[in-house]
């Protein structure tokens, strides 16, 4: 297991960044570690030390909170896209977060004149009472399109089904009612709308097969899909799972383009480093942790997968994903769900089809036809999640046990995933050479 890790420079780099973000005092101490490791020709140690130093740089880049408790009046420049939660628009600015009542079209780069109240000075949370856009940006049309897409889906599908389509297709899960959210959580399928890169892979694969059928060259395909994924990341507000999956797809595609053997674990590690360079605090968020841990576990498992019948493949994926996700789910949400692997098998394929149909529903004239075919799929997902939510599960207090238990558990899981012998080769055939 240790050799598998040290043979991958980007994995060592990500480990260094993760250690540095959890232990900030150690970041600059290891600056000399890069030099010593290079002299000793220990490449893995050099990359690990470089990751520790890089984490210190990432933390220095982060803005400090610049608002004081009480009333606020002034101009704010937005640095990200909005999330719509509980009838409010939440959008980040440099050093804080702005809350605006209702659904408002906002985008990164815009300047707003705001009068309101600072509700949380430590995190820079401002609740706006009066607000007006003073300067629009090049990304403003994206903010307007997001609002238009949400409203169009709701008009086509109705309130409940529209909320499901928006959640699955665009990661806008805030419109789901409490009963549907509870069913998703208790059935182990909430990751479909919160920590899943499924949307990106469905979009990328659908575009890939379409471009291949049209005879488009490989390097042109990558450019077109890169533009599509960038647009989708803009549309969803750069959610961590969306960005992670987009970066993984592009890294693996570029490796194939330059005739290099694609390595999924290195790709996801590089994607993680790039994301943490922009948002290092996300390392402590459940979305980031679930997204990267589950995907990494699946990559490691299928590196040495055994030969199973095709019908067994879905259950295999669900079991590995559940083994990786359930401890984090217990830590963050206080629940261990036993029915999760079966539920995911029953809804994963359906949700992939709904994702594609959600994109097509936005097209004027075509959406009215898509609704007819999409409604039965939505009914199936809702019925399955409601039924699975009735199965017993273990309920705990969130974050009620030591994080060291998680460290020990995932260390053991790594031993199980990587400790299995590789697939045996048939008699008379030469063994395959495994590239690191």
DSSP-derived secondary structure for 126-159: EEEEEEEEEE--TTHHHHHHHHHHHHHHHHHH-H
CA separation (Å) from 60 to 48, 64, 284, 328? 19, 10, 17, 28
- Among residues 64, 106, 294, the alpha carbon closest in space to that of 192 is found at 294
Where does CATH 2.40.50.140 sit in the chain?
Answer: 70-138
Give the per-residue pLDDT at 382: 94
CA distance 241 to 287: 7
Give the per-residue pLDDT at 431: 45
Give the per-residue pLDDT at 424: 46
CA distance 276 to 56: 11
- Quote the tokens at residue 415: 């031993």
pLDDT (tens digit, 0 to 9) for every residue of the chain, 436 residues total? 677 788 888 888 999 888 888 887 766 666 666 667 666 778 888 888 888 888 888 888 776 656 677 888 888 888 887 877 777 888 888 778 889 888 888 888 889 999 988 887 677 788 888 888 888 888 888 888 888 988 899 999 998 999 999 888 877 777 788 899 888 888 888 777 754 566 787 778 888 888 888 888 888 888 898 888 888 887 777 776 777 778 878 877 776 666 566 677 888 888 889 888 888 888 888 878 887 888 888 888 877 665 544 555 666 777 888 888 888 888 888 888 888 888 888 888 888 888 889 888 998 889 999 999 999 999 999 999 999 999 888 878 788 888 888 989 998 888 888 765 554 444 444 444 444 4
Q: How far is CA 106 from the centre of its chain?
A: 22
CA separation (Å) from 80 to 108, 199, 218, 317? 4, 21, 33, 34
Let me know: does 314 contact 347? Beta carbons within 8 Å.
Answer: no
Q: How far is CA 132 from the centre of its chain?
A: 32
pTM of the model: 0.76
For the segment(s) 70-138, the CATH number from 2.40.50.140, 3.20.20.80, 1.10.3720.10, 1.20.120.640 is 2.40.50.140
Residues 6+ apart with CB under 8 A from 287: 194, 195, 239, 240, 241
> Across the beta sheet with 88-93, what order do the strands follow?
70-77, 111-120, 125-135, 96-101, 88-93, 83-85
Secondary structure (3-state) at 404:
helix
- Quote the tokens at residue 342: 């079966």
Give the per-residue pLDDT at 290: 82
- Among residues 127, 192, 217, 136, the alpha carbon closest in space to that of 344 is found at 192
- Among residues 174, 179, 218, the alpha carbon closest in space to that of 193 is found at 174
């Amino acid at each position: 297991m240790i050799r598998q890790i040290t043979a991958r420079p980007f994995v060592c780099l990500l480990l260094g960044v993760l250690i540095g973000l959890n232990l900030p005092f150690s970041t600059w101490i290891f600056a000399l570690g890069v030099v010593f490791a290079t002299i000793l020709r220990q490449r893995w140690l050099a990359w690990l030390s470089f990751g520790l130093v890089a984490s210190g740089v990432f933390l220095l880049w982060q803005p400090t909170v610049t608002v004081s408790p009480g009333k606020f009046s002034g101009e704010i420049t937005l640095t990200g896209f909005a999330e719509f939660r509980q009838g409010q628009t939440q959008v980040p600015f440099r050093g804080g977060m702005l809350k605006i009542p209702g659904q408002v079209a906002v985008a990164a780069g815009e300047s707003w004149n705001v009068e309101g109240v600072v509700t949380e000075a430590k995190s820079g949370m401002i609740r706006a009472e009066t607000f007006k856009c003073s300067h629009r940006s090049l990304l403003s049309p994206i903010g307007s399109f997001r609002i238009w897409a949400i409203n169009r889906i709701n008009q086509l599908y109705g309130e409940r089904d529209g909320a499901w389509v928006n959640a699955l297709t665009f990661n806008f899960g805030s419109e789901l009612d409490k009963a549907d959210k509870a069913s998703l959580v208790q059935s182990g399928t909430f990751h479909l709308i919160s920590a899943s890169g499924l949307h990106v892979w469905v979009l990328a694969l659908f575009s890939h097969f379409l471009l291949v059928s049209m005879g488009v060259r490989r390097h042109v395909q990558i450019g077109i899909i890169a533009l599509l994924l960038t647009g989708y990341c803009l549309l969803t507000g750069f959610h961590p799972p969306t960005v992670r999956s987009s970066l993984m797809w592009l890294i693996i595609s570029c490796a194939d383009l330059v005739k290099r053997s694609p390595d999924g674990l290195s790709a996801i590690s590089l994607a993680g480093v790039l994301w943490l360079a922009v948002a290092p605090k996300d390392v402590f968020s459940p979305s980031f942790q679930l997204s990267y841990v589950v995907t990494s576990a699946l990559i490691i498992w299928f590196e040495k997968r055994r030969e199973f019948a095709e019908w067994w493949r879905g259950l295999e994926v669900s079991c590995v994903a559940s083994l990786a996700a359930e401890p984090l789910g217990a830590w963050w949400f206080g629940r261990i769900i036993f029915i999760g692997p079966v539920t995911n098998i029953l809804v994963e394929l359906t949700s992939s089809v709904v994702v594609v149909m959600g994109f097509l529903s936005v097209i004027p004239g075509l959406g009215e036809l898509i609704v007819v075919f999409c409604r039965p799929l939505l009914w199936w997902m809702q019925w399955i999640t409601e039924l699975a939510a009735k199965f017993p599960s273990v309920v705990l207090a969130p974050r009620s046990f030591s994080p060291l238990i998680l460290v020990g558990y995932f260390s053991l899981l790594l031993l199980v995933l990587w400790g299995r012998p590789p697939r045996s080769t048939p008699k008379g055939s030469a063994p395959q050479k495994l590239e690191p």
